């Protein structure tokens, strides 16, 4: 029963192989793998920084590092995790690899632009690492680079913000490419309401990237100009306005939170119907809620600035919009849970990740509402409560969705299957570690523990220790999970074309995908989660 062997995209036609066939490949699948390979070491670096920060807090006072080192660590933990990992990871890896396949296209609209955005990303990553190692010490401003401190510190801020500027360019290029691809390259019959939900989230995200990223670019250029030439834009001593900096920073950086989390929610929307074996509940509601989150999400940046001293009237409005954005987010959670109802649920590793994302997204979302309320925010501003909240969103939701997607698409991307039982254990350790690490932060924040501090008062010792132990469990889980996947990459069993019984297009082709996605452009006759018709 041997099927005819089809060249996978890993094979090199005519024997032209080697590293160049990867570094200069315009194949969207290879670019996806390139992103994966380049993002993971940076993620590891971010994890190490976070781990060391936790470890520093194991005793009061200076334990393993002084305050200045701690300041640099939280700055770089933030810069790496946000700009180099969580923003590019899902669009870069899964978006590139699967977007064309999911809509029945041969490749992206602009394959060479796609390769360029990877190169630009690498340039940005290189500059960021350079900023860490050169100059008068790494930046100590926090990833927010708030003026006027960022204008006055002697550390290497100019290079670091320039790195972020370059990364932003990569992000815009990716956005333009995704949007054009979705508009122009859908296969015949792939109407807007037959696009898989993951594609919808990538589409919404891409627009946010196009609209919002230039603003941070201009802002950071202004920071550089002010540092180099002393132009007074943000520095009050020169007649500038530091609140203006906060506005401009968050006009990008709040939508950026949705750039991070929306594709993750899209991955979950792919996983849930497959493992519930039924069509997703409220397809249109989920699809449009992605646009809703992206749209309203651009109007809420001011909720980071309630204590900055801007007008209370503005504060009230921003608080209101923050409550509004909770609606589309809640629609997603409701529809996922609704999709499970009366489904024939099969519990497998990707599904476990999806469940933990629903749980952690709910905690992150609800604590976000608390922070969005003007009065509570004044009390909790800049405490561990905020740190707990955004880690539940960025790590507990977007990060776990990436892990879930990795387990879901691993057999497709590499043609190998991992040890599922071990993967489930790794998941359990990760969930326990994650919640032990971050849940105590809510309690610490409520008791008044400020963020970005290398030291604390004696009454916080107990909860700090619990949280630190959590970081050890979490790192153990990460090692187990990646160890299992890396083992599977080298020694795993061969995976079937469709191990989960998915109905979307990527499962209808071989694993790993052939070089040419589809022999013949597919004709789409029904929606992406129609299991009854896909089986016939």
Partner 1 sequence: MPWYLLTFVFFTVFLTGASYAENGPEIPEVQAEIGIEERLGANIPLDLSFSDESGKEVQLRTLINKPTILSLTYYRCSNLCDNISANIAGLLGRLQSEPGKDYSVITVSFDERDTPADALHEKEEYRKMIGRPFPEEGWRFLTGNSENVRRLTNSVGFKYQKEGDGFRHPATLIVISSSGKIIRYLYGTTYLPFDVLMAFSEASTGRTGPTIPKALLLCYRYDPWSRRYVFNVMKVTGAVVLLLASSFFIYLLRAGRKNLQG
Binding residues for partner 1 (CB under 8 A): 61, 66-68, 71, 146, 148-149, 152-153, 169, 172-173, 176, 179-180, 183-188, 207, 210-211, 214-215, 217-218, 221, 231-233, 235-242, 244, 248, 307, 382, 448-450, 452-457, 520-521
CB of 211 to partner 1, least distance (A): 5
CB of 525 to partner 1, least distance (A): 15
CB of 521 to partner 1, least distance (A): 4
Q: Which residues contact 270 (CB under 8 A, 6 or more apart)?
A: 196, 197, 198, 405, 408, 502, 504
* Whether 503 contacts 196, CB under 8 Å: no
- What DSSP line would sit under 413-468, residue for residue? HHSEE--HHHHHHHHHHHHHHHHHHHHHHHHHHHTT-BSS-S---GGGHHHHHHHH
CB of 46 to partner 1, least distance (A): 22
Instruction: Name the residue nearer to partner 1 (CB basis): 60 or 277.
Output: 60
Cα–Cα nearest to 96, from 188, 9, 190? 9
Instruction: Name the residue nearer to partner 1 (CB basis): 207 or 321.
Output: 207
CB of 156 to partner 1, least distance (A): 16
SS3 state at 494:
strand
Crossing angle between the packed helical segments 283-297 and 197-229, to the nearest 10 degrees: 10
Instruction: Name the residue nearer to partner 1 (CB basis): 347 or 523.
Output: 523
Instruction: Name the residue nearer to partner 1 (CB basis): 413 or 524.
Output: 524
Instruction: Name the residue nearer to partner 1 (CB basis): 186 or 303.
Output: 186
CB of 62 to partner 1, least distance (A): 10
Instruction: Name the residue nearer to partner 1 (CB basis): 235 or 270.
Output: 235
How many angstroms separate the most distant Cα atoms in the chain?
78
341 burial (CB, 10 Å; 0-12 / 13-18 / 19+) is: exposed
CB of 160 to partner 1, least distance (A): 16
Cα dist from 478 to 278, 425, 471, 497, whole Å: 31, 11, 10, 27
What is the rounded CA–CA span in Å between residue 110 and residue 92?
15
CB of 326 to partner 1, least distance (A): 26
Instruction: Name the residue nearer to partner 1 (CB basis): 520 or 535.
Output: 520
SS3 state at 97:
helix
What is the rounded CA–CA span in Å between residue 511 and residue 420?
18
What is the rounded CA–CA span in Å between residue 155 and residue 454?
19
Instruction: Name the residue nearer to partner 1 (CB basis): 238 or 533.
Output: 238
Instruction: Name the residue nearer to partner 1 (CB basis): 177 or 289.
Output: 177
* Whether 454 contacts 67, CB under 8 Å: yes
Sign of the dihedral through C-alpha 396, 397, 398, 404:
positive
CB of 249 to partner 1, least distance (A): 13
Cα dist from 514 to 29, 101, 287, 504, whole Å: 10, 11, 29, 16
421 burial (CB, 10 Å; 0-12 / 13-18 / 19+) is: exposed
CB of 248 to partner 1, least distance (A): 7
Cα dist from 472 to 51, 251, 434, 495, whole Å: 8, 35, 10, 32
Number of helices (H), then strands (E), belonging to the chain: the values are: 19, 2
Instruction: Name the residue nearer to partner 1 (CB basis): 1 or 228.
Output: 228
SS3 state at 493:
strand
Instruction: Name the residue nearer to partner 1 (CB basis): 180 or 461.
Output: 180
* Whether 336 contacts 353, CB under 8 Å: no
CB of 210 to partner 1, least distance (A): 5
């Amino acid at each position: 029963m041997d099927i005819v062997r089809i060249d996978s995209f890993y094979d090199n036609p005519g024997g032209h192989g080697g590293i160049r066939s990867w570094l200069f490949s315009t194949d969207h699948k290879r670019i996806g793998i390139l992103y994966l390979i380049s993002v993971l070491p940076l993620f590891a670096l971010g994890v190490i920084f976070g781990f060391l920060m936790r470890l520093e807090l194991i005793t009061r006072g200076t334990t393993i590092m002084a305050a200045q080192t701690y300041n640099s660590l939280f700055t770089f933990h933030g810069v790496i995790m946000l700009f180099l990992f969580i923003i590019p990871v899902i669009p870069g890896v899964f978006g590139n690899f699967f977007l064309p396949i999911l809509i029945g296209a041969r490749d992206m609209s602009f394959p060479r632009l796609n390769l360029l955005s990877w190169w630009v990303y690498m340039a940005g990553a290189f500059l960021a690492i350079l900023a860490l190692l050169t100059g008068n010490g790494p930046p100590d401003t926090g990833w927010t680079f708030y003026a006027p401190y960022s204008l006055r510190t002697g550390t290497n801020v100019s290079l670091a913000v320039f790195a972020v500027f370059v990364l932003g360019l990569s992000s815009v290029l990716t956005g333009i490419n995704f949007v054009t691809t979705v508009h122009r390259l859908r296969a015949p019959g792939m109407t807007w309401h037959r696009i898989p939900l993951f594609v919808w989230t990538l589409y919404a995200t891409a627009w946010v990237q196009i609209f919002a990223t230039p603003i941070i670019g201009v802002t950071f250029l202004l920071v550089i100009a002010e540092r180099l030439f002393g132009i007074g834009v943000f520095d009050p001593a020169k007649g500038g306005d530091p609140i203006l900096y906060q506005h401009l920073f968050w006009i990008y950086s709040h939508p950026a939170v949705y750039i991070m989390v929306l594709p993750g929610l899209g991955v979950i929307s792919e996983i849930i119907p497959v493992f519930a074996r039924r069509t997703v509940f409220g397809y249109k509601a989920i699809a449009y809620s992605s646009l809703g989150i992206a749209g309203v999400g651009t109007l809420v940046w001011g909720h980071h600035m309630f204590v900055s001293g801007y007008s209370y009237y503005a504060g009230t409005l921003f608080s209101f919009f923050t409550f509004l954005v909770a609606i589309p987010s809640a629609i997603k959670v409701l529809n996922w849970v609704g999709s499970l109802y009366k489904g024939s649920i099969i519990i497998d590793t990707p599904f476990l990740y999806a469940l933990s994302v629903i749980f952690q997204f709910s905690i992150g979302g609800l604590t976000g509402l608390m922070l969005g309320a003007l009065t509570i925010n004044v009390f909790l501003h800049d405490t561990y409560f905020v740190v707990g909240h955004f880690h539940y969103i960025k790590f507990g939701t977007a990060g776990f969705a990436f892990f879930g997607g990795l387990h879901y698409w691993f057999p497709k991307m590499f043609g190998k299957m991992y040890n599922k039982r071990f993967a489930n254990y790794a998941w359990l350790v990760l969930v326990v570690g994650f919640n032990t690490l971050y849940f105590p932060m809510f309690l610490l924040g409520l008791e008044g523990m400020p963020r970005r501090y290398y030291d604390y008062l004696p009454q916080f010792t107990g909860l700090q220790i619990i949280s630190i132990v959590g970081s050890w469990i979490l790192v153990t889980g990460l090692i187990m999970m990646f160890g299992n996947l890396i083992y599977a990459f080298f020694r795993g069993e061969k995976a079937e074309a469709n191990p989960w019984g998915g109905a979307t297009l990527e499962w209808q082709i071989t694993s790993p995908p052939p070089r040419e996605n589809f022999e013949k452009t597919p004709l789409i006759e029904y929606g992406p989660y129609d299991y009854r018709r896909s089986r016939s």
